[in-house]
A and B are shown apart, each in its own frame.
Chain A
């Protein structure tokens, strides 16, 4: 049984790879005979960069786009390891999609993929809301005892809705767009441990684009390596997102020198409304990128930039909840950069006299 399902998944992986090889401009042929196609699709940097380049093309999200078709089909095959491959590109799909909405371009291809992710999550949760019982220290818990004792058990705990219930949608209605993307990001978050680092970095870069604010003024001077050009780099990278900025890019490169205002505009294209249903999953993913157990310097720095950007944005919006969340992340970054907490408490005390 196990063997059958393995070969099944293997052949589906191969199929997906073959289909992809017909879409990508130059598919590394050695991979076609790969032992573990799903793994290669997820982790091969060559494939990854070709896909992301295609996704950033000006006409990438149309309904007849073959890459979107491939992403949709690959996700719908319901093989978990192939679904991870699609999820890996969610930052790009969501990022390009949301930034392109105001341009009234055909985006049905992206929407199909996003709806597939949305309905997968809806089915998985059975449409139910995700809730959290906020603990109350008056009740004894496994981690502490309370003097108040059992008599308080009758009082209800605070119920927090982390993600409201889901209804099935067949199309992306514009007022539900943020929710659909938000739920897709919730799905991404639930698999974030399996996501490759480059996907998370891309996510952080899109956060900067969405926020549309340069938060580098909030960078602590003692925060390690110089990354002043980080935001500029991201702006540069994102230039291809929409046709307008592409034109601007051409102009500026022909003029060789870029005015300050021009680049500022560059980051502003792509600024999107950030309602809580979108911002909340974004903040959870960002928290992971910043403080998750797997330390990767490049990711950490990208997450710091994103966090500062979103902090600046929440100040602009005077959004208290977002100020609290992004502000606390920034303070944690600051606390992290101080060496005082670097003592290893599991180390033996070194003594001059060694005894048994």
Chain B
């Protein structure tokens, strides 16, 4: 730098805000050049620059182009850039580099050699990049993308052997980073999605020395593109695959991978926190039903990035969606504490709903449900019905464990009241209609239950299996067996064969109720054939089985239940041998089961082996202390052993009735005891209860379909 130019620049520096051009240590005001440009004299402007700043032709043009671009005159910039043959300049530079590289001997010489081309390359590449940007602003997107691509192509060729260990020129790096980021966006804007896809992969899989922020932006944009573009192009090519590393096979996998990598970077502080990353990941993983994986990702987020109540709420949604009820509930309990987010309607509803499926949690759930209904205001006003609905469900569940008759009946009617109120708010909610049906059925108000069961089938168009089952059960409780059979047969027509298990089981029971034992055996045989086919086509491989069926476990044909049902049937027909065989089969599938022992005991009892029968019943109770049928059977056996057993018998029966207040056999046994004791009035009451219950007894318990 000479002294005079230094002085000149110092003077110019004082005029702050004056735009200047600077090169080779000289500076000049832009206004001089701009005037000429405005007159359309590109060449004069150019020569002014070449003289003023001692530049060559290409440098002067590049500088002019940049000036025009900065002024927002993109058309002018394009005119200037069109004046230089950028491709030729690039080619010249490529050949000069490839010639020089082999002659490179020492490190220091290599450095000095590369310093020049890097600088020159930076200038030319920036010019090409600005051309691309200008074209973009003019809406010529495909042309812009082509220019932008040529920047990257040139960089790859020029530095095919990498840049020697000198630090990369700042300007060159900036241009490269910009071009890498811009290219996929340009293809995207030009609706060239496959090109955009490969540009993204090129950006992320080649080494461009991008800084973390730039790389994160590209990763996020690519993930968003993969997730929502709906364009499936295929996995990254084999060339980029590294041995043993995971290669995504499709858009979804690639998007999830990128989002996870991004989230990890945010958590390690390598990238700024971007709240949208977790939302995209939430969308992707919940659409894939992988909310337990999502939960793990959310747990990794550092404190401070996500408010704790938000985190708890998100996690509880994840856990409840993946069936981890206990974890979900624990988190909700934290969220719903007084000083946290106690009034959050959604959390309250979720907590109440989860509690409503468990008799031991129903009371807690009722509390949440009441709070939810109270809080359903403002934005959440429309959720009042939902609050009432879970309230009803919790009350219904509570009724099942209540200790006294009057309390039970009170809770049941409260449950119905809540559900009815919810129904008046949401008359089209099919789930609610179903729940009303079940609730009425459990109260043995069969005509109301029938009405709702029918309505449910209507509103769902018969698309839900449990609707058909409820209707058949209600009809069976009304002793309208032929109609129930018609319902089951219709339902069988409307289901694919893998879902027919529960229907066929009901059909067999209906046949037994009508004393059509041969038909029932036939139905069981068909069920067994189904089991066999099911095992053949899916049993060998776990994954296709999962994949083949979206059904819940209990919708599939349950082989154990088939054998057990058949054993019961044979035993009731006194075909002891056949019954034994069936029991063996059942035992092979489920080793310890109260139900199997129950059947076994019955068989002993019928054959007069009372001691063995009693042993089987007691064993069943040891396995399942609340197994009601065996309690009743034991009491019936004990009752025949003389009056000193009577207190035990009574305890057992009252115990049984506490668990299952609608068990007619328990009432019947109790009646017999009263009669033997001479308490005729009590006996009559119990007989009457048993008789009334028998009139409305379904072939399977109503709660079996909830």
What residues make up the interface of A, taking CB atoms closer than 8 Å to B? 101-102, 104, 129, 131-137, 139-144, 150, 153, 157-162, 164-165, 167, 169, 173-179, 189-190, 192-193, 212-214, 217-218, 268-269, 271, 273, 275-277, 280, 283-284, 287-288, 290-294, 312, 315-318, 320-325, 327-329, 331-332, 335, 341, 345-348, 350, 352-356
Contact = CB atoms under 8 A, between A and B. Distances in A.
Nearest to B385: A316
Contact of A325 (B214, B286, B350, B428): B286
A354 B66 contact: yes
Interface string B211-236: 00010010100001101111110001
Contacts of A292: 228-230
17 contacts: A102-B458, A132-B252, A132-B288, A142-B245, A143-B204, A158-B290, A162-B252, A165-B548, A175-B462, A190-B232, A193-B230, A268-B427, A283-B283, A320-B328, A331-B275, A332-B280, A348-B70
A320 B385 contact: no
Interface string B243-262: 01111111011001110110
Query: Which 4 A-B pairs give the minimum distances between C-beta atoms?
Result: A129-B547, A101-B461, A320-B321, A174-B462
Contacts of A177: 461, 463
A173 B496 contact: yes
B463 A174 contact: yes
A356 B23 contact: yes
Given A277-B550, A293-B193, 19 more contacts: A104-B458, A135-B253, A143-B219, A162-B252, A162-B288, A174-B463, A175-B494, A175-B496, A178-B463, A273-B464, A283-B283, A288-B229, A312-B382, A316-B383, A316-B426, A323-B346, A324-B283, A324-B291, A331-B275
Nearest to A133: B253
Interface string B187-227: 01001010010000000110000000010010100001101
Size band of the B side of the interface? 35 or more
B290 A160 contact: yes
B185 A143 contact: no
Contacts of B261: 137, 141, 143-144
B19 A143 contact: no
Contacts of A131: 547
Nearest to B323: A320
Interface string B442-456: 000000000000000
Contact of B496 (A162, A167, A287, A288): A167
A150 B243 CA distance: 10
Main secondary structure of the interface of B (DSSP, over half): helix
B235 to A, nearest CB: 9
B244 A153 contact: yes
Nearest to A332: B279
A332 B261 CA distance: 19
Contacts, number: 273
A165 B541 CA distance: 14
Contacts of A169: 496
Nearest to B462: A174
Contact of B257 (A135, A174, A320, A324): A135
A349 to B, nearest CB: 9
A292 B252 CA distance: 14
B290 A129 contact: no
A268 B130 contact: no
B249 to A, nearest CB: 7
Contacts of B550: 164, 179, 276-277
A140 B244 contact: yes
Nearest to B490: A174
A190 B233 CA distance: 11
A158 B426 contact: no
Interface in B473-503: 493-496, 499
B493 A173 contact: yes
A331 B281 CA distance: 12
A297 to B, nearest CB: 16
B242 A345 contact: no
A159 B390 CA distance: 34
Contacts of A353: 19-22, 27
Contact of A321 (B205, B236, B280, B289): B289
Contacts of B546: 161
Contacts of B23: 355-356
B661 to A, nearest CB: 29
Contacts of B495: 173, 175-176
B420 interface: no
A335 B67 contact: no
B431 interface: yes
Nearest to A160: B288
A212 B428 contact: yes
Contacts of B282: 324-325, 327-328
Contacts of B288: 132, 134, 160, 162
A269 B63 CA distance: 66
Nearest to B67: A354
Nearest to A179: B550
Given A165-B548, A325-B282, A348-B70, A293 B461 contact: no
B608 interface: no
Interface in B266-302: 275-276, 279-280, 282-283, 285-291, 293-294
Contacts of B228: 287-288, 290-293
B63 A174 contact: no
Contacts of A325: 282-283, 286-287
B11 to A, nearest CB: 14
Contacts of B286: 321-322, 324-325, 328
B674 interface: no
B133 interface: yes
A174 B283 contact: no
Contacts of B19: 352-354
Contacts of B22: 353-355
B287 A284 contact: yes
A277 B550 CA distance: 8
A179 B428 CA distance: 22
Nearest to A268: B428
A213 B427 CA distance: 12
Nearest to A217: B379
Contacts of B205: 142-143
Contact of B386 (A150, A158, A316, A355): A316
Contacts of A288: 228-230
A217 to B, nearest CB: 5
A354 B21 contact: yes
B605 interface: no
A238 B353 CA distance: 33
A194 B403 CA distance: 64
A217 B382 contact: yes
A324 B318 contact: yes
Contacts of B196: 293
A173 B276 CA distance: 41
A312 B382 CA distance: 8
Contacts of A143: 204-205, 219, 257-258, 261
Contacts of A144: 261, 264
A318 B246 contact: no
A150 B242 CA distance: 12
A323 B346 CA distance: 10
B244 A150 contact: yes
Interface string B55-89: 10001001100110110000000000000000000
B549 to A, nearest CB: 6
Contacts of A165: 544, 547-549
B246 A141 contact: yes
A135 B285 CA distance: 11
Contact of B248 (A135, A158, A331): A135
B320 interface: yes
Given A174-B462, A321-B289, A324-B317, A140 B349 contact: no
Contacts of B346: 315, 323
A354 B31 CA distance: 13
A179 B549 CA distance: 11
B194 to A, nearest CB: 10
Nearest to B231: A193
